[in-house]
């Protein structure tokens, strides 16, 4: 049992939309990612996805609305819900909590999909 310094972990990478794993709890991976610009429309057919904004702000577009998530806030996107995250302005640092088998691009496989997510 060791503590994890989240700010220090964010300082270990500069890539955007490439989640890095920092911990695991009950089959759920806790990941960090940096967002700058828009991601892709996708959904997770069997898994909910939690977004916790550590720094900055994001907007998550849904087919019927958009939700702003600010620093210190979180949102849970229910399974099978199509969504597209994007940074509100500049760069946002986001923590994700999702089952270990979940791809960050959900049901979409493209050049943004990271097959083997790295532990840092």
Residue 13 clears pLDDT 60, i.e. is over it: yes
Q: Is residue 115 part of a domain?
A: no
**Gap between the terminal Cα atoms of the chain:** 16
CATH of residue 56's domain is: 2.60.120.10
Q: What is the per-residue pLDDT for 114?
A: 60
**Residue 3 within any structural domain of the chain:** no
**Which residue segment(s) compose the domain that 22 sits in?**
8-72+80-110
Tell me, rounded to whole angstroms, the distance of Cα 72 from its chain centroid: 14
Identify the pLDDT of residue 25: 94
Number of domains in the chain: 1
The answer to whether residue 52 sits within a structural domain is: yes
Residue 99 within a domain: yes
pLDDT at 116 over 60: yes
pLDDT digits (tens, 9 = 90+) for 32-73: 999 998 888 988 889 999 999 999 999 999 999 999 999 999
In a domain? residue 120: no
DSSP 35-71: EEEE---B--SS--EEEEEEESEEEEEESS-EEEEET
pTM over 0.85? The answer is yes
pLDDT band at 101, cuts 50/70/90? confident
Residue 78 clears pLDDT 90, i.e. is over it: yes
Position 1 in a domain: no
Domain contains 105:
yes
- In-domain check, residue 102: yes
Q: Which pLDDT band, with edges at 50, 70 and 90, does 1 fall under?
A: confident
Helix (H) or strand (E) holding 6: helix 6-10
Q: What's the pLDDT at 109?
A: 64
């Amino acid at each position: 049992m060791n503590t994890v310094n989240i700010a220090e972990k964010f300082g270990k990478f500069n890539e955007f939309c490439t989640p890095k794993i920092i911990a695991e709890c009950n089959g759920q991976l806790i990941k960090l990612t940096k967002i700058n610009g828009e991601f892709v429309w996708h959904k997770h057919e069997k898994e909910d996805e939690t977004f916790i904004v550590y720094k900055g702000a994001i907007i998550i577009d849904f087919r019927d609305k958009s939700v702003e998530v600010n620093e210190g806030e979180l949102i849970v996107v229910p399974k099978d819900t199509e969504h597209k995250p994007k940074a509100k302005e500049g760069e946002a640092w986001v923590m994700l909590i999702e089952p270990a088998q979940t791809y960050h691009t959900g049901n979409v496989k493209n050049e943004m999909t990271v097959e083997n997510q790295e532990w840092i």
